[in-house]
Amino acid sequence: MRIGALDRKILRDAWHIRAQIIACALVVAGGINSFVSLSSLNRSLAASQASFYEEYRFADVFAGAVRAPEHVAQRLAEIPGVAVLETRVVARVNLDVPGLDEPARGRIVSISRDPTGGLNALYIRRGRMPAAASQDEVLVAEAFAIANRLEPGDSIRAVVNGRYKSLRIVGVAISPEYIYALGPGQLVPDNRRYGILWMDRKGLATAYDMEGAFNDVTAKVSPGATVEPVLGEMDRILGAYGGVGAYDREDQLSHRFLSDEIAQNRTMSRITPTIFLAVGAFLLYTILTRLVQMQRSQVGLLKAFGYSGGEISLHYLKLALVISLLGAAMGVATGIPFANAMLDLYAEFYFFPMYASDQVWPVAAAGVSLAVAAAALGAVPAALRAARLAPAESMHPEPPPRFHAGVFERWGIRHALRPAGRMLVRNLARRPLRFVANVAGIAIAVALLVMMTAMMDGVRYLMEWQFTVVQHEDVQVLLTEPRSREALDSLRAMRGVVEVEPFRFASGRFHAGHRMKRGLVFGIEDSPTLRRVVAADGHAPAIPPDGVLLTGIFASALQVRAGDTIEVEVMEGKRPRVPMLVVGVVEEPIGFSAYVSRATANRLMGEGDVLTGAYLRVDANERAKVFADLKAMPQVAGANLREAAYAQFREMIDRSVGIMITVNLVFAWIIAFGLVYNGARIALSERGYELATLRVLGFTQRESAALLLGEQGVITGVGLPAGLALGIALTLYFVWMLSTDMWRMPFVVTGLNLVGAMAAVGFAAAASGAAVAWRLRRLDLVGALKARE
Amino acid sequence: MPDPIFRMRDVSKVYHVGDLEVVALRDVSLELYAGEFVVLLGPSGSGKSTLLNLLGGLDTPTKGQVDYLDHDLSEGGDEKLTAFRREHVGFVFQFYNLIPSLTAAENVALVTDIADRPLDPREALALVGLAERADHFPAQLSGGEQQRVAIARAVAKRPDVLLCDEPTGALDVETGRLVLEVLERVNRELGTITAVITHNASIAAMGDRVIRMSSGHIVDIAANAKRLPASELVW
């Protein structure tokens, strides 16, 4: 292929300014990397979710009951709007996992009898379906199988309906209902200690005395039907059978977590690339504008030879194309492995039959177009400027730029500054937009770091709070069903148990006017010590003998405050619905809990001294024994270990923090480097002649470097604190955006974060400046005496 | 004869341009004396700019010795040469080389700020007849005015030597003459050694001595019996 002379020229021009081109391409690469990785990750998650839901018929409505005769199913199926309905038997089970001292917990779900697989159908990863009517064959969820290294053919001991039983694993499965499996009382998935199992309906019904009955319902609504009336009607019918409240996908834990994750990711996948590409477009604009300016006489010459304005524009646009393609190539090349690494991380928490992997190439293609579009945005104004240059005029050297005493001077700063300072101020003031764009770029780099570290610290703070301030127990014991005081006594009597604090949980619905929220009625001791209720300021309000304490997130969802009355509907037993006074709001960052005294909870339920679980403090030396004893207790449904959960969480955070900090640091460095290096190179190019003159006049290298870098210094100096402000604003935005029904992200910005972010960006800026200052050594002093171009 | 201020002995300067070796000066020897006005004449490429660069401490010779009083200029590091320029040399360029973002007075102040016992910037501008234009930016001044500001900037530090590379090269006759008058006045009133490079032979008449160069050699050094005032020059 023959390369035309004009193309050769642009290639050599590109080679000449290669360092700037690389700086700009790196910024574009950062944008495309984040676009490709985040978008393909997100599209992969969304597509995996959609296709899994679709093919395996994820239900729209879920409801539980204590025990309903099978004929009720007919009435439920006839509810207008219900398209398909399935009844199930679902049971809690205690599992004895090999190698684990404490009892693990499980949920056994009956398998649909529908030959097509029915609703929430199972994907069998390995092995086979349990045989019909089998009472000991089970499928285990892949998450649990991986965490405990279980394979088809293995057995697992379980306490099924109070009796020890050995369950044979015949297969490993995944369900659209449990893509993300969070056990009761867990804040992060602990797949080693919590797992889903599936068993044949008949076998399970036999084991739990549920023949001819069901205790769980799922349904799909007809296309176009609204869910609300279906939920209401279902509640009405199941009320008589101990119904605990129907809910839709929004309240289905797995769906909720996954969908929140996808939504948050989507936002990130838009924000980050936009920032980078905007900075990249700006850099390209400055590079090309400068190039056209330096090559005015060449442009004039080309026009004199007969090249058209369009051809000359195209000539410069080709350079932009080269830069954008270079950036896109780097972005795609690093983005794809990065996306895969993130998918691997997600695959540890979100279980799909397979992650949609066909999303990468369309996203990569979109990324390349995006890079080209951003480049065009930056390059077109410069290219048009070249096209508009009049040939005769452009062959003359450019007249000296016009300066005048600006606003700063009128403020009297003039007398406070040496001439060098005035040069700096006037050069900045002459191009206010360029100044603002540069400052904004630096500020964004700082803000990214501030926001990211603040988020990490926020999550950490949340967990530290939960695990060290709120929870002081060693074990949280959950009972299979509400038990009387004897259960408490037997826990107290266990050797090694130092302290026992009983609680009474019940799920509930909370009404305030027309607003309704599902939450937890949490009956605890009057002055709890093992599981405290603590406000954000560290103050622990007493549990009121009457009335209820709401978490802040709950109170704001219901739009109530202390002094208001809400209606509490307990979704258990006789489902009492009573008005209660909100006596206080605790700013707990986690969960929808309504704290009452246990006596109040018992009274509400019309029961005696009843508990559903207890917090235990255990003698460190007797731990193993206590765990073994708990495993053997049929009334114990499970145990959550504070320390294990804490460790699990810390490990998860530490791993993701490492990745996040590295990625964001690299991103912030790329932006700072791109801006400062490019800005200083352009300043050097624009004012090399001026600096050489100063050197001839006797300025030292250091003095002229100070003049050259002064502008970048001011830009960085203004950009760093501006970045703190922007970072704090961005953090507030993310805190707001990432707060879900279950979490309220705390706003944690420490001095260390702020200083660290400024130092990291300041360092990158200083290093880039130094790299350019180094070039001053090669400044052509003799050339300064010679004729100007 | 008084002692020379500048002394060049057998100086050669070779530049490497790509694979080419360009000999800009060959075995040149020259002495400059206090207070004299020297005109360096010669066509392009004759070596006069190279000579000026060596005298001004912008460059060092490939061979030979350059001394300014007891300073050895033939081998100074960048710092030493910078200090020499800063303390002793004033430069005037063909294209003025003013800083566009600074006013006339500020351009002068740029140099007086780093000098030991400078003139007041406004005094220096008065010396070149531009007291009125002190607060104008370069873009608001004519070429001749800009060159006079450049001269004011060069002399404001009271240099020992004023080196001018084609100071009238970009100016018309009238303006050029005005600029030369200023140089003449500075030389007379401040006693600064003044070396002017030009390829305009008419200017030779205003110098104490005229040095003619060709192909890297000094071909002739002639003393003018009588200096012609710049105002009477014709070209």
> A179 by DSSP, 3-state: which?
coil
CB < 8 Å to B110, chain A: 419-420, 694, 697
CA-CA distance, B71 to A654, in Å (whole number)? 64
Q: Looking at the predicted structure, is the pLDDT value of residue A395 above 70?
A: no
Burial call B137-172: b when 16+ CB within 10 Å, e when fewer: bbebbebbbbbbbbbbbbbbbbbbbbbbbbbbbbbe
Q: Is residue A527 part of a domain?
A: yes
3-state secondary structure of A785: helix
Surface of A (667-706) touching B: CB under 8 A: 689-690, 693-701, 703
Q: Classify A471 as helix, strand or coil.
A: strand
| pLDDT given at position A159 | 82
Range list of β-strands (E), A183-330: 194-200, 213-221, 247-248
Write out the DSSP string of A106-154: EEEEEEP--TT--TTPPEEEEE-PPPTT-SSEEEEEHHHHHHTT--TT-
> How far is the alpha carbon of A784 from chain B, nearest alpha carbon, in Å?
8
Contact B139 A399 (CB under 8 A): yes
A81-95 pLDDT per residue, tens: 999 999 999 998 888
Output helix, strand, coil percentages for chain A, rounded to the nearest 5: 55, 20, 25
- What's the pLDDT score for residue A409? 64
Q: How far apart are CA A217 and CA A238, in angstroms?
A: 10
Q: Which of the pair, A611 or A411, is modelled with greater confidence?
A: A611
Q: HEC states along A368-395?
A: HHHHHHHHHHHHHHHHHHHHHCCHHHHC
Q: Are strands A515-524 and A593-597 parallel, antiparallel or unpaired?
A: parallel
pLDDT of residue A406: 64
Confidence (pLDDT) at B194: 95
Q: Are residues A558 and A459 in the same domain?
A: no
Q: Is the pLDDT of residue A789 over 50?
A: no
Considering the domain architecture, whether residues A605 and A744 belong to the same structural domain is answered as: no
Chain A residues 401-420 with CB within 8 Å of chain B: 401-405, 418-420
Q: How far apart are CA A239 and CA A237, in angstroms?
A: 5
CB distance A419–B139 less than 8 Å? no
Q: Mean pLDDT lowest for which of A152-161, A345-354, A670-679, A732-741?
A: A732-741
For B102, the closest of A402, A423, A698 (CB atoms) is A423
Backbone angles phi, psi at B173, to 5 degrees: -60, -50
Contact between A457 and A748 under an 8 Å Cβ cutoff? The reply is: yes
Q: Where are the domains of chain B?
A: 33-60+70-232
Among A328, A187, A323, A111, CA closest to A646 = A187
Classify the complex by whether its ipTM is higher than 0.85, answering yes or no: no
Which of A696, A701, A787 has the CB atom closest to B58's CB atom? A696
Q: In terms of residue numbers, what domain contains A172?
A: 92-104+111-209
Contacts of A703 in chain B (CB under 8 A): 114
The mean pLDDT of A324-349, rounded to a whole number, is 91
Top-confidence residue, A105 or A783: A105
In a domain, A743, yes or no: yes
pLDDT score of A46:
93
- How high is the pLDDT of residue A2? 63
Q: Tell me the two tokens of residue B27.
A: 């075995």
Chain A nearest C-alpha distance from B182 (Å): 20
Phi, psi for A697 (deg, rounded to 5): -75, -5
**The pairing of beta strand A577-586 with beta strand A548-551:** parallel
Chain B, nearest residue to A780 by Cα: B58
Q: Taking all residues of chain A, what is their mean pLDDT, rounded to a whole number?
A: 87
Contact A785 B93 (CB under 8 A): yes
* Domain at B33-60+70-232: CATH architecture: 3-Layer(aba) Sandwich (3.40)
CB A161 within 8 A of CB A92: no
Reported as a single tens digit per residue, the pLDDT across A222-232 is 999 999 999 99
Spatial separation of the C-alpha atoms in residues A613 and A264, rounded to whole Å: 35
**DSSP string over A630-679:** HHH-TTEEEEEEHHHHHHHHHHHHHHHHHHHHHHHHHHHHHHHHHHHHHH
Distance (Å) from the C-alpha of residue A416 to the closest C-alpha of chain B? 13
Residue A284 in domain:
no
pLDDT digits (tens, 9 = 90+) for A161-196: 878 889 999 999 999 999 998 887 777 788 888 999
- Residue with the two structure tokens 């040469």: B81
CA distances from A402 to A247, A679, B104, B223 (A): 71, 21, 13, 45
Q: What is the pLDDT of residue B214?
A: 93
Q: Are A59 and A363 in contact (CB under 8 A)?
A: no
Q: Are both A456 and A562 inside the same structural domain?
A: no
Q: Do A687 and A594 lie in a common domain? A: no
pLDDT at A761 > cutoff 60: yes
A597 within domain boundaries: yes
Report chain A residues whose CB lies below 8 A from the CB of B53.
782, 785
At residue A470's C-alpha, the angle toward residues A464 and A474, to 5°, is 90
Convert the pLDDT of each residue in A256-313 to its tens digit: 889 988 988 888 888 889 989 999 999 999 999 989 888 888 888 788 777 888 888 9
- Give me the pLDDT at residue A467, please: 87
The residue in chain A having the minimum alpha-carbon distance to the alpha carbon of residue B93 is: A785
Does any domain span residue A425?
A: no
Instruction: State the total domains in chain A.
Output: 3
d(CA A653, CA A651): 5
- From CA A11, how far away is CA A316, in angstroms rounded? 11
Whether residue B102 and residue A399 make contact (CB cut-off 8 A), yes or no, is no
Selecting from B87, B100, B110 the residue whose C-beta is nearest the C-beta of A419 gives: B110
What value does the mean pLDDT take over residues B14-38? 91
Rounded to an integer, the average pLDDT of A599-623 is 91
User: Cβ separation of B110 and A430 shorter than 8 Å?
Assistant: no
Distances (CA, A) of B42 to A353, A762, B51, B98: 87, 53, 12, 26
Residue A511 token pair: 């009404």
Contacts of B59 in chain A (CB under 8 A): 781-782
Helices (H), A295-308: 296-305
Distance CA(B182)–CA(A202), nearest Å, equals 114
Q: How far is A339 from chain B (nearest CA, A)?
A: 49
| Contact residues, chain B to chain A, C-beta under 8 Å | 49, 52-53, 56, 58-59, 78-79, 82-83, 85-87, 89, 91, 93-95, 97-103, 106-107, 109-111, 113-114, 137-139, 153, 157, 165, 169
Highest mean pLDDT among A303-317, A623-637, A708-722: A708-722
Residues A664 and A605 placed together within one structural domain of the fold: no
Residues in chain B closer than 8 A to A697 (CB atoms): 85-86, 91, 110-111, 153
Tell whether A713 is covered by a domain.
yes
A419 with B86: Cβ contact below 8 A: no
- List the beta bridge partners of residue B90: B162
In the predicted model, what is the mean pLDDT of residues B4-12?
Answer: 94
Does some domain include residue A742?
Answer: yes
Q: Are A30 and A671 in contact (CB under 8 A)?
A: yes
User: Who contacts A697 (Cβ-Cβ below 8 Å, separation ≥6)?
Assistant: B85, B86, B91, B110, B111, B153
Residues A608 and A652 in one domain: no
Q: Which strands, in side-by-side order, build the sheet including B209-214?
A: B89-92, B161-165, B193-198, B37-41, B209-214, B217-223
Task: For chain B, say whether A781 makes contact (Cβ under 8 Å).
Answer: yes
Query: B49–A422: do the CB atoms touch at under 8 Å?
Result: no
Partners of A200 in beta bridges: A111
Neighbouring-strand partners of residue A521: A506, A594
Cβ separation B139–A400 shorter than 8 A: yes
The residues, ordered by sequence, that sit 6+ positions from A573 with a Cβ below 8 Å of its Cβ are A242, A605, A606, A607
Residue numbers in A near B103 (CB within 8 A):
405
